[in-house]
Amino acid sequence: MTNHQTSKNIWILVFVAALGYFVDIYDLIIFSIVRIKSFTDIGVPIANMRTEGEFVLNMQMGGLLIGGIIWGILGDKYGRLKVLFGSILLYSMANIANGFVQDVTSYAIIRFIAGIGLAGELGAGITLVSETMDRKNRGYGTMIVAGVGVLGAILAYFISEWFSWRTAYFVGGGMGLLLLLLRVGVFESGMFASMEKTGVQKGRIMMLFENKERFWRYLYCLCIGLPIWFVVGVLVTQAPEIGQALQAETVLSAGKGVMFTYIGISLGDFLAGVLAQIFKSRKKVVLVYQLLILLFSCIYLTRKGITETEFLWLAFLMGLGVGYWATFITIAAEQFGTNIRATVTTTVPNFVRGALIPSTIVYGLLVSYVGILWAAIIMLVLLTGTAIFALSKLKESFDRDLNFIEE
């Protein structure tokens, strides 16, 4: 570590990365919160709310998937900081543009562009923090980034309640542009800087597919996060429709549900980080969290006559289970060498988000055969089962020295 990378500077880096993820999460889930309001305003019929909502969300997720590849490769080739700057500029401008949409098609196209931008923030931030902090304590750094970051969802809810949905998009874009000013003076990863002098191959995504063992390691990293976005993107976002199927006393609010879910995720991320440090194992913690997702989601989907209070509590508890997000990304970062780490750490969470597309397609087909509740339960069992199997195939990476490369 060089002289200027003092302990104080490292924690400034963690703080800035956390704020970046705060804005990222705000912009990522603002659509889920304002879906009904914005669709009503631009004239979408009530009968089309769910299907048009899935279309726009899938466009955003598709952007995340493509953006994950682009920013990951750029992060390994040109540095983590350049990705942080470029991605935040793109998604901030896209979110400002979202405040002007008048139809579903333009809405979806701009969410796709925003998705590309949003794809770079978390992976580059986690990579920077993981490579900069002491290996015994890096779990605390990534925990803070994710734990503080997901609180952006709470601000998104309150902004959408206090102001119009268009203003909510303007606020998200404005915060991103302000964040660019904070990024000035943040230093590049020492590991990346050292690797640049070696002439080793960097950011070549085909490295993940040319070696069988490396490919399976990468695939298992992807699979351990599969249930996360189904909970947020379907179970909570479609709360009004699920509540109707459960014969809820009142219409369940997706906006409030998202807010309580992210409170749970924030607390869950902090707890997962602390528990991993205590037990010196990330795998054991992730397994417990995956089981919690299954438990609380099934309680939610079988709660006939659910009240709004019960829904909000269950949204919080489901969020608690989803709170292994930071630990999951840290595991991915620790599995691969410095020359491909940003590619992995940026593509893995975005491919997991992008996996919501095939998940919602299968879910939509199941809805037509078994109804919305059983369709959701079947998908949860499939996704969580796959995630637990994948977790069992990965090596424990806690306390691993990250100063190595992939040959």
Q: Which amino acid is at 264?
A: G
- Helices first, then strands: H and E counts in the chain: 20, 0
Average pLDDT (348-355) is: 82
**Residue, of 197 and 306, whose pLDDT is higher:** 306
Look up residue 405 and give its amino acid: I
Task: Residue 229: name the closest of 310, 319, 158 by CA.
Answer: 319
The beta-strand segments (E) located in 9-146 are none
Confidence of residue 196 (pLDDT cuts 50, 70, 90): low
Domain spans, the chain: 8-179+207-393
Query: Would the pLDDT of 192 be above 60?
Result: no
pLDDT higher than 80, residue 366: yes
397 secondary structure, DSSP code: -
Instruction: Transcribe 7-29 into DSSP letters.
Output: HHHHHHHHHHHHHHHHHHHHHHH
User: CA 259, CA 315: separation in Å to the nearest integer?
Assistant: 9
Select the more confidently predicted residue: 157 or 192.
157
- Cα atoms in the Cβ-side hemisphere of radius 13 Å centred on 91: 36
Note the pLDDT of residue 1.
45
Q: What are 291's two structure tokens?
A: 């089981």
Q: Measured between alpha carbons, how far is residue 256 from residues 215, 309, 316 in Å? A: 40, 10, 10
- Interval 54-91: pLDDT, tens: 788 888 888 888 888 888 888 777 776 777 778 888 98
Poorest-confidence range of 214-228, 237-251, 388-402?
A: 388-402
What is the rounded CA–CA span in Å between residue 61 and residue 116? 9
Q: Which fold has domain 8-179+207-393?
A: Growth Hormone; Chain: A; (1.20.1250)
Distance separating alpha carbons of residues 139 and 149, to the nearest angstrom = 15
Helix H or strand E encompassing 348: helix 338-354
Rounded to two decimals, the pTM is 0.78
Distance CA 205, CA 350 (A): 15
Structure tokens at 55: 């279309």
| pLDDT value for 186 | 57
Is residue 191 scored above 70 in pLDDT? no
Chain segment 242-299, per-residue pLDDT in tens: 999 998 888 888 878 888 988 898 889 888 888 888 888 889 999 999 999 999 999 9
Q: Give the pLDDT band (50/70/90) at residue 195.
A: low
Percentage with pLDDT > 70 across the chain: 89
Average pLDDT, the chain: 83
